[in-house]
Amino acid sequence: MKRERQAAASELSPREFLRWMWRQLTSMRTALSLLLLLAIVAVPGSLVPQRGVDSRAVEAYLTDHPKVGPVMDALGLFSVYTSPWFSGVYLLLMVSLIGCILPRSLVYLKALRARPPKAPRNLLRFPASRELVTSSSPHDVMEAARRALGRARVDVVDTDGVSELSAEKGYLREAGNLLFHVSIVIVLVGVAATALLGYRGAAIVVEGDRFSNVLTQYDEFGSGALFDREKLPPFSFRLDNFSATYQVDGPQRGAPLSFEATGTASDGVDGQERPFSIRVNHPMKVGGASVFLVGQGYAPVIKVTNPDGQVVFDEPVPFLPTDPTYTSNGVIKVAEAEPEQLGFQGFFLPTFAIGEDGATRSTFPAPYAPIIGLFVWHGDLGIDDGLPQSVYVLSKTGMTQYMDPDDPEEGYEVSLEPGESQRLPDGHTIEFVELKQFARFQIAATPGIQIPLIGIVAGLLGLVGSLSVRPRRTWVRARREGERTVVHVAVLDRVPRVDLPADLDDFVRRLQDRLAPLDEGETP
Amino acid sequence: MTLEQLGRLSNYSVASATAVLALAFVAYAAQWAFARNSMVRPEPVKVPVGADGAAAEPETDRSYAAGGIGFSLTALAEVILLVGVVTRGLAAERVPWGNMYEFSCIAIAFALAVYLLLVRLWDIDWVGVLVTIFATIVLGSSMLFVYVPPGPLVPALDSYWLVIHVLGAITAGAAFLVGAAASVLYLIKDRAERNTPEDQRTGFLWRMPASASIDQVAYRVHAFAFPIWTFAALIAGPIWAQAAWGRYWGWDAKEVWAFITWVFYAAYLHARATAGWRGKAAAILALVAFGTFVFNYVGVNLFVGGLHSYAK
């Protein structure tokens, strides 16, 4: 016996094997397992930083975990949602879905044209069935049953003294079911389409500066495989003013109330300038893209003058905020300084106060008492050797820190409020000219975004249909026996339910209301 | 009344509602305890609409009284909690769901409303003991751990989608809670039905409907909640995300877990139609799904972070 089965198994031709695989893949059980697997493989992406979400956090994680980090990287744990194993699961799920939908659609199309199944011989063998008697004729019973059924597909067979009625309703359930599953495929296709065709980037723009939609102006940029990076639609905008308001009193002191970026924008290469206002939740549409306000911070304007009085650096430097009071960190790289380049690293505080422990900290996000504090390095900034370098990180390998002449253990400090300047040990002068603000914009174009939206809305409609419609078969058989008619009724649900007997009672009541009573009444 | 007074009134109301809910839990616990030795036929199934709700047996004892008290206390707690939620909104001069403390209060207010409504409709006061203890814990811990004084909305939340997206999620969550409580009792009752000999069937468990009816209650509540969750998490959420952040789906931690919750509830609904998964396995899936929902609320808000973290 066992050997026979083995032999049978080994005799599966490749074609049969494929067929068997396809059956397995498209079975309900497999679809369910794949669905659960998809949920499980999505988990690590929420616990480990992701490149697509926060690439800086990934770099920090790799620095903090030099041993495990690279292994996790190789496994794709920092880009879970584009990893081969995640894609594998969802592609399998999609194939399984399609494999489910196609045959079921054919069955459904056939069922739509089919008549309700004929009444089985013995209706009283169904768990939900009933016998009753009446003096009405079988023909009248059929008519009454037809009306009591309401909207259903009904067939009636009348043969010498025995009438049979078969009814079926709830066809929309399967339609809803199919629509729901088809819409999942539409959503998956739509998501893939928007990801392939769109682009998204982020840029920091300081007040008074202009942003042009070219690759070099972006701090971060990502685009789909089908998007040509050379063909970014031409548009530009100038940030004139950034305003932020904060709660000034009460327990929520310092909580942000509003952020607004205003300026002028022009569509195309030399389009008309028009004013714009961008707030959180209210993006600007320009050049087929949308410009979103996603962050803000301070950019002190720093001027560095060499010992001869020549200006070697004069520009706003964005300091990235690290907490709700806008304690911000930043780096200044003065490449023009000679004979050695200068590098500054430190903090900016919008409203500084000196605590009891002597430490300087920020107490409010608005700039009531701004200050910058910097440490100074001299040497080679390492930006001439062609390697790309972040503007927010100071590479200290080729540099030496200036130390405090009074205490060689401590670094030499620059501390400036707006308008102040300080002479450095090498004779350069650094000045905090004025304070500007910067806005961080996300610029995104998502062509095809309607596809997943339409898909998911259709899916919701299908879902509601498949969950609320109850498919039901009802059979009624009436046989004339002398002066009376014996009626057998049975109902059957395609989806098992505990309250079927109650529904049967309800139907029988409606049926009896339309029939002539018999003197003896109903037999049990 | 000044805003400060309104804020204080809200705090007192939420605290009192928590205390009353705790008493309601005690009453529901007594409903079980008093029925410990009683031997009762299962009550007639009252789940279906139209079925006659046969009056309780004449030997109605302290257990029934305790159940009635539990229901009344829950209704009272709901009224007090609603006062707390409304005054909170007045004190902050905006909708009262802008941070985690407020989400907890209004979510429990919704959960209690769903529960009270279903007790009237389907007579499901047997889930009361689980619903009240869960609600007490959520309200109590949100007062202790995530309380913030009333204040303005952070700019990111200042959108009408806050009403649609958050109310949808809260409504679904309220139903998920009742569904989960029913699923727990289904598992207990189903196990008892298979393991307890006919003559040892004493206690409150046997006053509850048969496991198949409990299963159907759980299914209906979940089938109600799932489309709402789909709307809140997968339609309203992405539309808002597109307007606020420039991408409709970015695998933010909150989004990932909302998706995981959706998948598990989808699997639950699927499992009920799949041979070999029906019954126990399906109920366990529903509970796992509820677990992911709670984790998304507590774990992701407090420990994981991400774009939605202003929720605290």
| pLDDT, tens only, B120-169 | 998 898 999 999 999 999 999 999 998 988 888 888 888 899 899 999 99
- Same domain for B76 and B96, yes or no, is yes
The one-letter amino acid at B245: W
**Is residue B147 a contact partner of residue B231, using CB atoms and an 8 Å limit?**
no
Q: How many CB pairs under 8 A join A and B?
A: 157
Query: What would the pLDDT profile of A162-205 be if each residue is shown by its tens digit?
Result: 889 999 988 898 899 999 999 988 998 898 888 888 898 889 99
Q: Is residue B236 part of a domain?
A: yes
Domains of chain A by range and CATH? Answer: 2-111 (no CATH), 115-170+471-513 (3.30.310), 199-445 (no CATH)
Q: Is residue B289 part of a domain?
A: yes
- Same domain for B272 and B210, yes or no, is yes
Give A7's pLDDT tier (boundaries 50, 70, 90): very low
Query: What would the pLDDT profile of A321-344 be if each residue is shown by its tens digit?
Result: 988 889 999 999 998 888 889 999
Q: Is B245 on the interface with A (CB under 8 A)?
A: yes
Query: What would the pLDDT profile of A62-100 be if each residue is shown by its tens digit?
Result: 888 889 989 999 998 898 888 899 889 988 888 888 888
Q: Identify the residue among A77, A218, A247, A280 best suited for mutation to test binding to B, counting B beta carbons within 10 A and taking the highest.
A: A280
- 3-class DSSP assignment, residue A352: strand
Q: Predicted ipTM?
A: 0.84
Q: Is B54 on the interface with A (CB under 8 A)?
A: no
Q: How far apart are CA B219 and CA A410, in angstroms?
A: 68
**In the predicted model, is pLDDT for residue B48 greater than 50?**
no
pLDDT value, residue B59: 42
**In the predicted model, is pLDDT for residue B312 greater than 80?**
no
**In the predicted model, is pLDDT for residue A4 greater than 70?**
no
* The model's pTM: 0.84
- Same domain for B120 and B262, yes or no, is no
pLDDT value, residue A519: 56
Q: Is residue B46 part of a domain?
A: no
Query: What would the pLDDT profile of A421-435 be if each residue is shown by its tens digit?
Result: 999 988 899 999 999
**Is residue B254 a contact partner of residue B296, using CB atoms and an 8 Å limit?**
yes
The tokens describing B242, both together, are 């597109």
Q: Give the residue from B122, B153, B184 where a domain finishes.
A: B153
- Same domain for B162 and B147, yes or no, is no
Contact residues, chain A, for B292 at CB < 8 Å: 39
Q: How far apart are CA B5 and CA B29, in angstroms?
A: 36
Q: How far apart are CA A234 and CA A238, in angstroms?
A: 14
Give A357's pLDDT tier (boundaries 50, 70, 90): confident
Question: Per the CB < 8 Å rule, is B212 touching A498?
Answer: yes
Q: What's the start-to-end Cα distance of chain B, in Å?
A: 27
Q: Is B223 on the interface with A (CB under 8 A)?
A: yes
Question: Per the CB < 8 Å rule, is A502 touching B50?
Answer: yes
B217 is in which domain, residue-wise?
A: 154-312
Q: Is A443 on the interface with B (CB under 8 A)?
A: yes
pLDDT value, residue A231: 84
Q: Is residue B45 part of a domain?
A: no
Evaluated on CA atoms A40, A42, A47, A48, the torsion sign reads: positive
- Same domain for B149 and B184, yes or no, is no
Question: Per the CB < 8 Å rule, is A442 touching B274?
Answer: no
**How far is A292 from chain B, CA to nearest CA, in Å?**
6
Question: Per the CB < 8 Å rule, is A446 touching B248?
Answer: yes
The tokens describing B48, both together, are 């279906």
The one-letter amino acid at A474: T
Query: What would the pLDDT profile of A453-494 be if each residue is shown by its tens digit?
Result: 999 999 999 999 988 888 889 999 999 888 888 999 999 987
Which residues 10-29 of A have a C-beta within 8 angstroms of B?
A: 28-29
Question: Per the CB < 8 Å rule, is B274 touching A47?
Answer: no
- Kindly write down the DSSP assignment for every residue of B67-97, as one continuous string: HHHHHHHHHHHHHHHHHHHHHHHHHHTS-S-
* Mean pLDDT of the region B188-207: 85
Q: Give the residue from B153, B179, B202 where a domain finishes.
A: B153
Q: Is residue B77 part of a domain?
A: yes
Which residues 223-262 of A have a C-beta within 8 angstroms of B?
A: 247, 250-252, 255-259
Paired residues of B64 in beta bridges: none
**How far is B284 from chain A, CA to nearest CA, in Å?**
13
Q: Is residue B53 part of a domain?
A: no
Phi and psi torsions of A24, nearest 5°: -60, -45
Give A416's pLDDT tier (boundaries 50, 70, 90): very high
In degrees, rounded to 5, the angle at the alpha carbon of residue A72 between the alpha carbons of residues A387 and B248 is 80
Q: Is B298 on the interface with A (CB under 8 A)?
A: no
- Same domain for B111 and B163, yes or no, is no
- Same domain for B243 and B191, yes or no, is yes
Sheet holding A153-159, edge to edge: A129-134, A484-493, A472-481, A162-169, A153-159
**Is residue B249 a contact partner of residue A50, using CB atoms and an 8 Å limit?**
no
Q: Is residue B254 part of a domain?
A: yes
Contact residues, chain B, for A257 at CB < 8 Å: 152, 155
**In the predicted model, is pLDDT for residue A1 greater than 60?**
no
**How far is B80 from chain A, CA to nearest CA, in Å?**
25
**How far is B264 from chain A, CA to nearest CA, in Å?**
7
* Mean pLDDT of the region B21-29: 96
* Pairing of β A273-279 and β A256-267: antiparallel
Contact residues, chain B, for A43 at CB < 8 Å: 256, 260
**Is residue B306 a contact partner of residue B254, using CB atoms and an 8 Å limit?**
yes
**In the predicted model, is pLDDT for residue B294 greater than 90?**
yes
Query: What would the pLDDT profile of A271-312 be if each residue is shown by its tens digit?
Result: 788 999 999 889 999 888 999 998 899 999 999 999 998 999
pLDDT value, residue A514: 85
- Same domain for B108 and B118, yes or no, is yes
More confident residue, A220 or B84: B84
Question: Per the CB < 8 Å rule, is A281 touching B269?
Answer: no
What's the total number of domains in chain B?
2
Query: What would the pLDDT profile of B228-256 be if each residue is shown by its tens digit?
Result: 999 999 999 999 998 888 889 888 888 99
Q: Is residue B58 part of a domain?
A: no
pLDDT value, residue B51: 36
- Please state, for a pLDDT cut of 70, what percent of chain A lies above it: 96
Q: Is A202 on the interface with B (CB under 8 A)?
A: no
Which residues 269-298 of A have a C-beta within 8 angstroms of B?
A: 279-283, 290, 292, 294
Q: Is B192 on the interface with A (CB under 8 A)?
A: no
- Same domain for B217 and B270, yes or no, is yes
Smallest Cβ–Cβ distance between B235 and the set A47, A290, A460 belongs to: A460
Smallest Cβ–Cβ distance between B263 and the set A35, A258, A292 belongs to: A35
* Pairing of β A360-362 and β A352-354: antiparallel
Closest residue on chain A to B241 (Cα) = A281
**In the predicted model, is pLDDT for residue B47 greater than 50?**
no
pLDDT value, residue B18: 96
- Same domain for B106 and B168, yes or no, is no
Q: Give the residue from B153, B172, B201 where a domain finishes.
A: B153
pLDDT value, residue B232: 95
- Same domain for B161 and B118, yes or no, is no
Q: What is the dihedral of CA A445, A448, A450, A456, to 10 degrees?
A: -110
- Same domain for B142 and B1, yes or no, is yes
Give B309's pLDDT tier (boundaries 50, 70, 90): low
Closest residue on chain B to A495 (Cα) = B273
**In the predicted model, is pLDDT for residue A131 greater than 80?**
yes
